Chain A
Amino acid sequence: MKKKHNALLSGPYLVWTAAFIVIPLILIVYYGFTDENHHLTLSNIAKITDPVTLKALFLSLLLSAMATVICLILAYPLAMILARMKNGASAIITTVFIIPMWMNSLLRIFAWQTLLERNGVINQVLSFLHLPPQHLINTPAAIALGMIYDYLPFMLLPLYNALTKLDWNVVNAAYDLGANRRQTFFKVIIPLTMPGIVSGITMVFVPALTTFVISDFLGGSKVLLIGNIIDQQFTQVGNWNAGSGLSLVLMIFILISMAVMQHYESDDEGVSSIL
């Protein structure tokens, strides 16, 4: 009786999981390792060595790593300031910094397009000040900026959560035992907020590495990321095998960062801190 009851409960989502999570992943692997005639091949994976693709992959890794580091450097002090505010103020002001996260991310990137364009707001301000216009849009820097802007709240939130959970008496204990501010920061505060740092890094790095919207909007068609190449394979070229092969390569990097996250995962910081 009890067994049957449980099967009724678990049946639907187990079937769901198999149909829409497990089988799709198997399909990617299948397409990635076969050609259009269903013959086994490594040529899809090897497409990564194509100069354009390789350049896009390196650029993706470089820009997403840069954006992650800058997000961390920007967000950590802010999270410290917010976490040390008085109870009431802290929650409200933190909400103010999180609100943009809930706004459609395409529109937020679109806003930067408006700012950075050839005739955009920044260049108009420059010309008003009689300064020469700058070539801002369609550069790797513009993409990095878009990444930082889009994902900063995702870095801020886990850091903030980790820092509010930190017992400040532990920090006081470090001072009390003779450590100066720098020693306390590196020997106590950083190690104790490591789970927050790691989940912040993953929450920025993975989406930044795989984005194609930010590069579409802020890179024009001139700067391509690995996400654009995969997107093109599926929506324009129609070569699912090549697209799947490249996705598999991309997944290796995602798996690495997931493994790192798993290693540091402590109960409930991280993804679950979104609400």
Chain B
Amino acid sequence: MKKFFTRLYVILIFILLYAPIAVLIAFSFNDSRTRAKWGGFTMKWYVQMFQDAEIMAALRNTLVLAFVSALIATVLGLMASLSLNRMKKRKRTIVLGILNIPMLNADIVTGISLMLVFIAFGQFLSQYGYTVVFGFGTVLLGHITFNIPYTVMSIMPRVQGINPSTYEAALDLGATRSQAFRKVVLPDILPGILSGFLLAFTLSLDDFVITHFIKGPGFDTLSTKIYTEVRKGIKPEMYALSTLLFAGVLLMMFGIEKGRNARKKSQQYH
């Protein structure tokens, strides 16, 4: 009896979470512009979506932005983790506290503050004949900023977990400083670097609020595109886009899970 209610509860929440997504998927195949009726099965929204230059541009922007911002944030995060690890505890707490502000602060405040700073920089640079154009550049700077704390959070524990003797042992065995770092330290922190990169990548893909304030007119990511489209009135292409994005998420999760299993297995056999 208890088991029955437990199951029922799990299933109800499952339905609550997935029913809206299922509805989106169903509508993406509905051959009728109004949602009031089921007009039969069609793939035409998918075709139209791929032919829509704006959606495709937004998709491209989103992917490039996610990749570049995650890459730069990971490099900066790695440098930050390494140097933070050598700082005195007090100084480290303060720097980490500031670094973590974008993670803990509300996105709307981060977005507004970045918008204000880009305008201020623009005013400052205009004295020297330069201008700050809102667009890919500002959005990239913004994404790197909110990604850094997450990469530090992923890499830092690994760096702290390194046994300094292994680095010294490598030097003792004749490695140069850079060889010791590449061959001994880096492999230890690599999992942290990878998960930091992945986390930054997905957060950048997902961000709407911060991008909304710093993108300027004429530049769109998928999130901001969806926002304007939904406010204008629903285009069925959006359903097709949702379905594809959901499939993408599923594939990614499946891939991560599979990679994890493969790693576990290979660990068992060695």
Is residue B117 within 8 Å, beta carbon to beta carbon, of the partner chain? yes
The listed residue (A27, A77, A100) touching B116 by CB distance below 8 A is: A27
B173 interfacial contact with A, CB 8 Å: no
A207 surroundings in chain B (CB, below 8 A): 106-107
Say what secondary structure dominates the interface of chain B.
helix
In contact, B253 and A102 (Cβ under 8 angstroms): yes
With A and B bound together, what is the CA distance between A74 and B114 in angstroms? 36
Is A102 in contact with B252, judged by CB distance below 8 angstroms? yes
Whether A68 sits at the interface, judged by CB under 8 Å, is: no
Of A231, A268, A275, chain B has the most CB atoms within 10 Å of the CB of A275
Instruction: Judge if A250 is at the interface, Cβ distance under 8 Å.
Output: yes
Report if A52 contacts B (CB, 8 A): no
Q: Does B145 contact A (CB under 8 A)?
A: yes
Chain A interface residue count, CB cutoff 8 Å, equals 78
- The yes or no answer to A37 lying at the interface (CB within 8 A) is no
Query: What 1/0 flags go to A74-100 for Cβ under 8 Å of B?
Result: 100110011000000000110111011
In the bound assembly, the distance between CA atoms of A112 and B19 in angstroms comes to 10
Per-residue CB proximity of A179-193 to B under 8 Å, as 1/0?
Answer: 000000000000000
Pair A230/B13 contact, Cβ less than 8 Å? no
Asked if A27 and B117 make an inter-chain contact with CB atoms under 8 angstroms apart, the answer reads: yes
Interface 0/1 of B207-249, CB less than 8 Å to A: 0110011000000001100110011001000100110011001
With an 8 Å Cβ cutoff, the count of chain B residues facing the other chain is 81
Number of A-B residue pairs, CB cutoff 8 Å, is 206
Cβ-defined contact, B16 with A105, below 8 A: no
Q: Does B109 contact A (CB under 8 A)?
A: yes
How far does the alpha carbon of A57 sit from the alpha carbon of B209 in the complex, in Å? 19
B98 touches A95 (CB 8 A): no
Task: Kindly state the separation between the CA atoms of A95 and B19 in the bound complex, as whole angstroms.
Answer: 17
In angstroms, Cα B3 to Cα A69, docked, is: 25
Selected from A27, A74, A102, A114, the residue in CB contact (under 8 A) with B35 is A114
Chain A residues, CB < 8 A from B36: 119, 124
Binary B-proximity of A149-162 (CB < 8 A = 1, otherwise 0): 10011000000000
B48 within 8 A of A: no
- Answer yes or no: A169 CB below 8 A from chain B CBs: no
Across the interface, do A100 and B83 meet the contact criterion of CB distance under 8 Å?
Answer: no
**What 9 A-B pairs are tightest by C-beta distance, nearest first?**
A24-B113, A111-B20, A10-B83, A210-B106, A9-B83, A24-B117, A27-B116, A20-B145, A13-B80
Sample 14 A-B pairs with CB under 8 A, ordered by A number. Answer: A12-B79, A17-B98, A21-B98, A31-B116, A74-B13, A97-B14, A102-B253, A107-B246, A112-B20, A115-B19, A149-B16, A209-B106, A227-B108, A235-B213
Residues of A within 8 A of B (CB): 6, 9-10, 12-14, 16-17, 19-25, 27-28, 31, 74, 77-78, 81-82, 92-93, 95-97, 99-100, 102-108, 110-115, 117, 119-121, 124, 149, 152-153, 206-207, 209-210, 212-213, 216-217, 227, 230-231, 234-235, 240, 243-244, 247, 250-251, 254, 258, 261, 268, 271-272, 274-275
Chain B residues engaging chain A, CB cutoff 8 angstroms: 6, 9-10, 13-14, 16-21, 23-24, 27, 34-36, 76-77, 79-80, 82-84, 86-87, 95, 98-99, 101-110, 112-117, 120, 141-142, 144-145, 148, 153-154, 157, 195, 198-199, 202, 205-206, 208-209, 212-213, 222-223, 226-227, 230-231, 234, 238, 241-242, 245-246, 249-250, 252-253, 257
